[in-house]
Structure 1
């Protein structure tokens, strides 16, 4: 079914009022109670919009997830899955430095762009179609998860299992450009780094010890210097030592590696694992591979989704381009599964993961209408 998407009843002012509640409920990944409250709020709002909602207990130590479906005559058949995450990178208390505020068409707040704004626009689009009396050709489902910002270690299996039930996957992650969507993403791997030194009194017997912090500093520089055009390495989240008068025994860090092609990421994995050196006395430098996002290269099905979106965007009044992007998302998993996946459908904004994270308010409606247009015709 083709509809005039410009008539979809989405009011950015009303949408922003609803979104404000989501943004002001901070939900950093590692704070389970906060993420649970955010999931409960999203579930409550979706139920009020007419969705059937199931709250799914989160992975151990992580927040709950929500699975929702909109009533449909073909309920239970393969349809469209909209995927998003409710966790953010911003720690509790960020609202004091980055309060929800608006100036003209710009609105700030923690997680407003990545990706609470896109999630809210997507569910609002589904409700708006129902208000118009438009029945989507395929049933529409929503999956909101709790650990995307740390690489999806606990919910990947859930995502892949739910995605496998459907024909199309839409991901309202932020639009990385005003008129763009994402049709592929780079491969990403994370590593745990641990330097193990030898303790001693830093004042009385400095030379008897071996500093884990010093070891980490040297290896950190060597690892980051491996970055080239094909594969990057970035080390952060460094913790070492406890008392300044003790030579530090342990120093830990995390490394993020990203590559445009899977073979480049695999080559990078071989290079960083070569840093793993363990001595008989227990000292050394240990490298452990953590979560991985596979490379997602655009399939014919994904490009068909893009062409549909491009045509719909043109009727709304903006040209739409596509790109393969760095910065992983859960679309990596579904794209790598070969499922038609369109990512970056969310709101327009900038400076995500910073204290200047913001959106363009009118994009709540324009991006919502783009999603509505896709839902109205997919499967027809």
Structure 2
């Protein structure tokens, strides 16, 4: 398998360049759809069958399988990035000293390339293992999967294993657990008044929001993996006016499922009563992504992957991370799930995002070998 993949390195880089140079931010439906079309054509050219699942607001979803598939292994990828339209033309795909750069190069367009070529390598071996996989490409992972979650949960029915193709960590580690979380918004209404002439007639929405910010932050319990962060605030109309309105966006992260209900109720309780008389609060949002917990099933799958890695000369480690991914959805369904099977790189979501080119072959070989073992 490795010899075949080494022969495909130039093709890998050519495809990676095409994908990276296609803007596909989560809200750029046309761009995400174009990535889906590129991938659909690549898979269909090697004999796999695909289906496009239309989405009105976000990019379409793509499912790929062998024509004789009876799948038990889900490969999960996303096509959206965090970058706005025009980023690809501003800083297109480049290679410097064995490292590739560009928007979304490692998160996760490099994984599109390794997944395709793992499939190609298995086809070159005429392996029946391909009949055991279903490859799902979603379009909204970076914004919390507002439509992707239901789609993933539907496609994951009956699966025994989920291999999530987020990039490996900088040191090559796989991801065995992730924090879950959600988003809330607070809208506070007060009463305007001139701050010099009659401030006593005003009711400050900013003051009320300040009370709520302190109370929400007090819910954080870092030792137990819970963090609540009021990350964006705005309010007021002018410096000499008691603020008639204020707004905040809140991020919450949890490490265990039982923390979800407890903290959701605590947030509702905090926002149910105003601290400043005459103000009112509207709370919207929820905890939308369950945590990916390192359970017995995950550990067993990890051991299998580590064993396969050892056979092909790779030492595989795993870590926990605070960031979320679609792995949480399959894990919460009770499916053995391991994340971070993509190529190595770093600085995701930043201008200097990079991918280590040598790991394209390495991770494609690992994926192909793991599919064979699980099948």
TM over 0.5: yes
Q: In angstroms, what is the RMSD of aligned CA positions? A: 2.8
Counterpart contact for 2:187–2:281, Cα < 8 Å: yes
Deviation at 1:83, TM superposition (A): 0.7
Counterpart contact for 1:82–1:141, Cα < 8 Å: yes
Deviation at 1:178, TM superposition (A): 2.4
Cα 1:119/1:203, change in 2 over 3 Å: farther
What's the counterpart of residue 20 of structure 1? 17
Counterpart contact for 2:22–2:88, Cα < 8 Å: no
Within-5 A mapping of 1:271-310: 271-277=266-272, 283-310=279-306
Of the candidates 295, 315, 334, which is equivalent to residue 319 of structure 1? Answer: 315
Consecutive unaligned residues of structure 2, counting only runs of 5 or more, are: none
Give distance in 2, aligned partners of 1:304 and 1:254: 39
Give distance in 1, aligned partners of 2:44 and 2:197: 66
Deviation at 1:201, TM superposition (A): 6.7
Give distance in 1, aligned partners of 2:31 and 2:282: 33
Deviation at 1:24, TM superposition (A): 1.2
Counterpart contact for 1:191–1:254, Cα < 8 Å: yes
Q: Does 1:179 align with 2:172?
A: yes
Give distance in 2, aligned partners of 1:286 and 1:170: 40
Within-5 A mapping of 1:59-98: 60-72=56-68, 75=69, 77-95=70-88, 98=91
Q: How many residues align?
A: 371
* 3-state DSSP of counterpart to 1:50: coil
Deviation at 1:247, TM superposition (A): 6.0
Give distance in 2, aligned partners of 1:250 and 1:7: 64
Of the candidates 258, 264, 289, which is equivalent to residue 253 of structure 2? Answer: 258
Deviation at 1:29, TM superposition (A): 1.1
Q: Does 1:331 align with 2:327?
A: yes
Consecutive unaligned residues of structure 1, counting only runs of 5 or more, are: none
Give distance in 2, aligned partners of 1:239 and 1:287: 15
Give distance in 1, aligned partners of 2:34 and 2:73: 26
Give distance in 1, aligned partners of 2:194 and 2:36: 49
Q: Does 1:220 align with 2:213?
A: yes
Give distance in 2, aligned partners of 1:88 and 1:213: 34
Within-5 A mapping of 1:160-175: 160-175=153-168
Give distance in 2, aligned partners of 1:116 and 1:282: 51
Give distance in 2, aligned partners of 1:97 and 1:282: 49
Deviation at 1:195, TM superposition (A): 2.2
Deviation at 1:191, TM superposition (A): 1.7
Of the candidates 331, 351, 356, which is equivalent to residue 360 of structure 1? Answer: 356
Give distance in 2, aligned partners of 1:70 and 1:240: 54
Counterpart contact for 1:197–1:211, Cα < 8 Å: yes
Counterpart contact for 2:203–2:278, Cα < 8 Å: no
TM-score calculated relative to the size of structure 1: 0.87
Within-5 A mapping of 1:84-233: 84-95=77-88, 98-136=91-129, 138-199=131-192, 208-213=201-206, 215-228=208-221, 229-230=223-224, 231-233=226-228
